[in-house]
Chain A
Amino acid sequence: MHNRGPRRVGGCLEEIIFLSALDKPVLIIGGGVAGLAAALELDRRGLASLVVEKGPNLGGQARGFCCKALEVCARCGACRVGDLLQQAAQRPALGALTQALAVAAQRQGAGWEVTLIPQEGPKPTSPALALERPLGERLLVQTGAVILAVGHQVFDARKKSRLGYGRVPGVMTAGELEETLAKGGLPGQARRLAFVQCVGSRDQALGRLYCSRVCCGFALRLARLARYLEPGSEVTFFHMDVQDYGQAWRAELAEMRAGMRFIRAIPGEVRPGAGGPLAVFAGPDGQPQEEEFDLVVLATGLEPPVAAPALSEMFGLTPGAEGFLTGGQGVLVAGSAGGPRSIAESIESAAQAAASAAEHLVSGQAPSPEVAHA
């Protein structure tokens, strides 16, 4: 096993030295919470890895989420991204190539040779961390095992056009609300808020026959936070069912039920009203009912990653349940790439992927990893 303790070298040296100073028993594709956690877990085992991230920064989607604590932590997990980035920065053996895309893979013994190409894209939104290095040129990486941590794709709310997203002013997605609140405020004077759950999940017409698992949790916590930030605002929660997140959650949910209006129906339509978006939904008697809000928030679900078909083909994987990724020989999956997972679940799944990758390296006689510029 490799335990040579490779270390990142100081900022003045060429990228090539940075790269060849690493040996890479494991290549991690995707630098969200799952990819970062996988790198950390491998490092705890004494195994080096290389994270390959297509975007300009590590952290993935959860990096833009807001803290949902009122006075007490709501255990939403959003700040775990910061924790992971901090832990990664303290571990000299960790390195990540940003703006890099894996485009081809070839079996080599029990391992893989993966081709990376630089990815044109937006410039970093925040100053690069010491461990982030943009990929400069095409690169071949030989590796003993691969962890796929490419995350999920958020359902495009425009596909449910009747809900008005992109068409009706005052309709936004929960992800947009996360980011607005993270930046410190609610848009305008939103006193009448509605949340619409299961948008793009549990939907026969869309062929999405699964629950996205996380949206009840984050939407209700967002709703509670919005109410707290804007005292006097009213929240209506349109839902099918409220999923369960453990003991402490149940106590919180009881409080939320007391403070918000829960309606067990999903609006069939949202259209422009006189003072804001107007939702049409089935009332308690089954008859259609209309109500106007200032803001309608769509809790969009988690879909398989866009890269799933390409990666499945590259690594010869059989498509998994609902189109998410499943692993194969020497290829492991971590985080929401493998199915809808919360931040905490993504982090834990990375531990298992790291352990399996390590076992593969031992049993599969991984080739000696090295790097060559193509």
Chain B
Amino acid sequence: MPRPTLCWVAAPGLEGLEPPALAMAAGLDLDQGGALEAAVVTVPEVQAPDKLRARLLGRPVQWLDLAAELGGGGEGHRGQRAAAALSRAAGRASLGTLPPLYSPQPNQRVLVAGQGLAALAAARQAALLGHPVLWALSGDDPAAAGAGEDASQVAGLAAGLPEGIELAPQTELTNLTGAGGSFTAWLKGPQGTARQRFGAVALAPGGAYRAEPAPPGLAPDLSRPLSACQPASLASAQGWRQVAILAGVGQPATAQGFARALATAYALQAQPGVQVTLLFREALVAAPQGERLYRQARQAGVLMARLGDGEPRLADQGRTLVWQDQVLAEDLELAPDVVFLCEETGAPWPGFLDNNLLWPARSRLLPEHARLDGGRTARAGFYVLGALRGTPAGEDRLAEAAAAVHDLHDLLGGGAAPLPAVRTLTCARCLTCVRVCPHGVPEHVEDHIQPAPAACLACGICAAECPAHAIAPPGWSTAELMEGLACGLAAAPAPAMVLMACGQSAMPAFAELSRSGHVWPAGLLVLPLKCAGRVGLELILRVLSLGAEGVLVAGCHEGMCRSVTGNLRARLATGQAAGTLSDLGLGPEAVSFLHMANNQPQALAKAVEAMYARLGAVE
């Protein structure tokens, strides 16, 4: 076992501490500039001086953010806390690191499937960044625009296509497996189906208009989709006098759909002899120019009818619309010559994504999630863009495609976490990791588990769930964590408690509190994690068996986990641990879980305080 060295880099928040004494307390040698086997550094890698980084190259290093873990308090108090944190790091560093078992290069090719603004922008940007792009077009023309898109904008972008885009006209993506850096796609073209490998895949079908449903009972010959009145002069030609437009009545509209209804209403109203009534529940004016369009249409004479629930009612065999005016409290009637139904853009969800052996359910793959923006899905390297995602046509689609391409460029260029290490000899081939990894990283290939090269986020869910301890992202195996925690707990003054802190929510909040001088209990040991999903029942129980008197697990709010289920798994494990404790006749209050966001430091401080109050009460 290497004996680690303490490399003390001074940083704000570490003032007044004595490195030699701390090194001694943590069982570390203090760096004298000599040769190093393994090291513990007091600052994150980006903050370390270049020289030190160069010296540590290729050695097992624990980069701490000691100031973030420490907090305020008297010198003795901070010294105790620093010694415990350094001991934890020392324990982990003493194990060295496992060399990666295999490290394939991520495939650099990008598949863009679809047509229209989003597909075009994605293909362009990926090619500009040097990725070989295969663009599978549903039709023949790369300049074809999707529904609602500005044809001249699309044509303009298509005119200057950069090098490196290979066009595959009339080609459909029929099946897809894999994850970031290693996808296999089945492409069906005029020459038959071919299988090809890609590093990243963007799905961006052009999209079509879909009209909202007509009110049940409306005479069928009356209703038409909104596009059917283009050009507007059609109205007079058809002899329509009373025109009704329903916008967001049969189903909720979007601001874009509503703006289009407003523009159409205005154009029709300008035709001689035509009176337009726009019927809606909410005026959705949030699209660019929306409010101006609304006022313009009203000033031009379009009648605005605001409907309540269950309206419009129908009379006269479905030929008359009836609703109550909200101010006059009187029924109003309209017998239109034609009823136009507002349209929204959309695209059908591809069938291969419904294969639940290969893909998670749509709600897991593409949840409405504040962290999964920029076209990203839960599966790293796989993007859903444009109409299929419901992104409004225009600049928003360009922005989304650009963000997606930056993300894939970063991933394929080494931005993903290092590959999880799989110990093939101990692996039981139970496929638990394949099932639980939210990002689709482990694949079962030729009777072994092979991780995709550019998709792992080091959430640690596989490591928490694998029954054989055979898989973990480097540095995150149970053995490594436990070695560190054992040393840390040995150094922490009683009562000792462990905070298992998610790196997206709890840890940034903890660091903020520490930096502003919050005084943490002396025996509080922090375990900074990438994701709370690394916490499993085993980890909690083993920490308790080492003498920790309490465990607090803190993760993101439900629906905010970057790894989708990490927080829920951690919460479940915490509940199981509490159950086990009460089965054993011990106090279940020794473990608890906190949902929080990185901007809620007070919630974390309160939970730590409450935990300590409970520990005191139990004693």
Complex-state Cα separation, A242 to B558, whole angstroms: 25
Q: A250: CB under 8 A from chain B?
A: yes
Q: B295: CB under 8 A from chain A?
A: yes
A-side contacts of B597, CB under 8 Å: 67, 69, 73, 78-79, 82
Q: B371: CB under 8 A from chain A?
A: yes
A-side contacts of B407, CB under 8 Å: 44
Q: Within the complex, which residue of A65, A89, A285, A344 is in contact with B599, where a contact is CB–CB below 8 Å? A: A65
- Do residues B403 and A73 form an inter-chain contact, with CB atoms below 8 A? no
Q: Within the complex, which residue of B288, B370, B415 is in contact with A73, where a contact is CB–CB below 8 Å? A: B370
Given contacts A210-B291, A241-B285, A351-B402, contact A10 B46 (CB under 8 A): no
- Do residues A44 and B44 form an inter-chain contact, with CB atoms below 8 A? no
Would you give the 0/1 interface string for A31-70, flagging 1 where the beta carbon is closer than 8 Å to chain B?
A: 0000000000100111000000000000000000111010
Complex-state Cα separation, A10 to B11, whole angstroms: 10
Given contacts A184-B602, A243-B286, A351-B374, contact A209 B327 (CB under 8 A): no
Q: A188: CB under 8 A from chain B?
A: no
- Do residues B292 and A209 form an inter-chain contact, with CB atoms below 8 A? yes
B-side contacts of A69, CB under 8 Å: 557-558, 560, 595, 597
- Do residues B284 and A241 form an inter-chain contact, with CB atoms below 8 A? yes
- Do residues A348 and B558 form an inter-chain contact, with CB atoms below 8 A? no
Q: Within the complex, which residue of B128, B285, B327 is in contact with A359, where a contact is CB–CB below 8 Å? A: B128
B-side contacts of A241, CB under 8 Å: 282-285
Complex-state Cα separation, A126 to B515, whole angstroms: 8
Q: Within the complex, which residue of B125, B370, B373 is in contact with A355, where a contact is CB–CB below 8 Å? A: B125
Write the nearest CB–CB distance from B415 to chain A, whole angstroms: 7
B-side contacts of A182, CB under 8 Å: 599
Complex-state Cα separation, A80 to B48, whole angstroms: 26
A-side contacts of B231, CB under 8 Å: none
Q: B18: CB under 8 A from chain A?
A: no
Is chain A's interface secondary structure helix, strand, loop, or mixed overall? loop
- Do residues B402 and A41 form an inter-chain contact, with CB atoms below 8 A? yes
Complex-state Cα separation, A213 to B255, whole angstroms: 10
Complex-state Cα separation, A279 to B403, whole angstroms: 45
- Do residues B403 and A41 form an inter-chain contact, with CB atoms below 8 A? yes
Q: Within the complex, which residue of A7, A345, A354 is in contact with B396, where a contact is CB–CB below 8 Å? A: A345
Complex-state Cα separation, A247 to B390, whole angstroms: 10
Q: B178: CB under 8 A from chain A?
A: no
Complex-state Cα separation, A354 to B410, whole angstroms: 14
Is chain B's interface secondary structure helix, strand, loop, or mixed overall? loop
Q: B399: CB under 8 A from chain A?
A: yes
- Do residues A71 and B290 form an inter-chain contact, with CB atoms below 8 A? no
Would you give the 0/1 interface string for A310-323, flagging 1 where the beta carbon is closer than 8 Å to chain B?
A: 00000000000100
Considering the complex, which residues of chain A in the window 64-103 have a beta carbon less than 8 Å from any beta carbon of chain B?
A: 65-67, 69, 71-73, 75-83, 85-86, 89-92
- Do residues A344 and B368 form an inter-chain contact, with CB atoms below 8 A? no
- Do residues B286 and A79 form an inter-chain contact, with CB atoms below 8 A? no
Interface residue count on the B side (C-beta < 8 Å)? 72
Q: B75: CB under 8 A from chain A?
A: no
- Do residues A202 and B598 form an inter-chain contact, with CB atoms below 8 A? no
Given contacts A11-B11, A79-B505, A83-B504, contact A244 B373 (CB under 8 A): no
Q: B182: CB under 8 A from chain A?
A: no
- Do residues A211 and B285 form an inter-chain contact, with CB atoms below 8 A? yes
Write the nearest CB–CB distance from A263 to chain B, whole angstroms: 12
- Do residues A75 and B295 form an inter-chain contact, with CB atoms below 8 A? no
- Do residues B283 and A240 form an inter-chain contact, with CB atoms below 8 A? yes
Given contacts A65-B599, A79-B597, contact A286 B327 (CB under 8 A): yes
CB nearest to B67 among chain A residues: A127
B-side contacts of A285, CB under 8 Å: 327, 329
Q: A246: CB under 8 A from chain B?
A: yes
Q: Within the complex, which residue of A73, A244, A246, A321 is in contact with B282, where a contact is CB–CB below 8 Å? A: A244
Complex-state Cα separation, A72 to B558, whole angstroms: 5
Given contacts A86-B508, A209-B292, contact A71 B557 (CB under 8 A): yes
CB nearest to B411 among chain A residues: A44
Q: A9: CB under 8 A from chain B?
A: yes
Q: B549: CB under 8 A from chain A?
A: no
B-side contacts of A45, CB under 8 Å: 129, 406, 409
CB nearest to B559 among chain A residues: A73
- Do residues A246 and B505 form an inter-chain contact, with CB atoms below 8 A? no
- Do residues B295 and A243 form an inter-chain contact, with CB atoms below 8 A? no
Interface residue count on the A side (C-beta < 8 Å)? 71
CB nearest to A215 among chain B residues: B286
Given contacts A90-B44, A92-B46, A244-B284, contact A44 B406 (CB under 8 A): yes
Q: B424: CB under 8 A from chain A?
A: no
Q: A8: CB under 8 A from chain B?
A: yes
- Do residues B403 and A358 form an inter-chain contact, with CB atoms below 8 A? no
Complex-state Cα separation, A286 to B328, whole angstroms: 8
B-side contacts of A184, CB under 8 Å: 602
Given contacts A45-B409, A71-B558, contact A9 B399 (CB under 8 A): no
Q: A138: CB under 8 A from chain B?
A: no
Complex-state Cα separation, A165 to B319, whole angstroms: 50
- Do residues B508 and A82 form an inter-chain contact, with CB atoms below 8 A? yes
Write the nearest CB–CB distance from A356 to chain B, whole angstroms: 8
- Do residues B557 and A73 form an inter-chain contact, with CB atoms below 8 A? yes
Q: A274: CB under 8 A from chain B?
A: no
- Do residues A354 and B252 form an inter-chain contact, with CB atoms below 8 A? no
Q: Within the complex, which residue of A71, A209, A348 is in contact with B373, where a contact is CB–CB below 8 Å? A: A348
CB nearest to A130 among chain B residues: B47
Q: A248: CB under 8 A from chain B?
A: yes
Complex-state Cα separation, A345 to B129, whole angstroms: 24
Would you give the 0/1 interface string for A252-266, flagging 1 where the beta carbon is closer than 8 Å to chain B?
A: 000000000000100
Q: Within the complex, which residue of B12, B46, B285 is in contact with A127, where a contact is CB–CB below 8 Å? A: B12
B-side contacts of A350, CB under 8 Å: 399
A-side contacts of B395, CB under 8 Å: 349, 352
Q: B429: CB under 8 A from chain A?
A: no
Complex-state Cα separation, A183 to B602, whole angstroms: 8
A-side contacts of B598, CB under 8 Å: 79, 82-83, 86
Q: Which of A65, A89, A202, A355 has the most CB of B within 10 A?
A: A355
Complex-state Cα separation, A258 to B516, whole angstroms: 42
Write the nearest CB–CB distance from B376 to chain A, whole angstroms: 11
Q: A339: CB under 8 A from chain B?
A: yes
Q: A284: CB under 8 A from chain B?
A: yes
- Do residues B291 and A209 form an inter-chain contact, with CB atoms below 8 A? yes
Considering the complex, which residues of chain B in the window 381-398 have a beta carbon less than 8 Å from any beta carbon of chain A?
A: 390, 395-396, 398
Considering the complex, which residues of chain A in the window 336-374 have a beta carbon less than 8 Å from any beta carbon of chain B?
A: 339, 344-345, 347-352, 354-355, 358-359, 362
Write the nearest CB–CB distance from B383 to chain A, whole angstroms: 12
Q: B254: CB under 8 A from chain A?
A: yes
Complex-state Cα separation, A351 to B406, whole angstroms: 8
Complex-state Cα separation, A352 to B394, whole angstroms: 12
A-side contacts of B47, CB under 8 Å: 10-11, 130
Complex-state Cα separation, A161 to B509, whole angstroms: 39
Considering the complex, which residues of chain A in the window 112-169 have a beta carbon less than 8 Å from any beta carbon of chain B?
A: 126-127, 130
Write the nearest CB–CB distance from B45 to chain A, whole angstroms: 8
Write the nearest CB–CB distance from A48 to chain B, whole angstroms: 14
Q: Which of B11, B255, B396, B399 has the most CB of A within 10 A?
A: B399
A-side contacts of B371, CB under 8 Å: 80, 83
Q: Within the complex, which residue of B292, B326, B409 is in contact with A210, where a contact is CB–CB below 8 Å? A: B292
21 contacts between A and B (CB under 8 A): A9-B50, A11-B47, A41-B402, A69-B595, A71-B557, A73-B560, A76-B370, A79-B370, A83-B371, A83-B598, A86-B598, A90-B44, A127-B516, A202-B285, A204-B295, A211-B285, A344-B370, A347-B374, A348-B399, A351-B402, A355-B398
Instruction: Identify the 6 closest CB pairs spanning chains A and B, nearest first.
Output: A351-B403, A82-B598, A352-B399, A355-B402, A73-B560, A67-B597
| Contacts from B to A (Cβ < 8 Å) | 9-13, 44, 46-50, 125, 128-129, 252-255, 282-286, 288-292, 295, 326-327, 329, 368-371, 373-374, 390, 395-396, 398-400, 402-403, 405-407, 409-410, 413, 415, 504-505, 508-509, 512, 515-516, 556-560, 595-600, 602
| Contacts from A to B (Cβ < 8 Å) | 7-11, 41, 44-46, 65-67, 69, 71-73, 75-83, 85-86, 89-92, 126-127, 130, 182-184, 202, 204, 209-211, 213, 240-244, 246-248, 250, 264, 284-286, 321, 339, 344-345, 347-352, 354-355, 358-359, 362
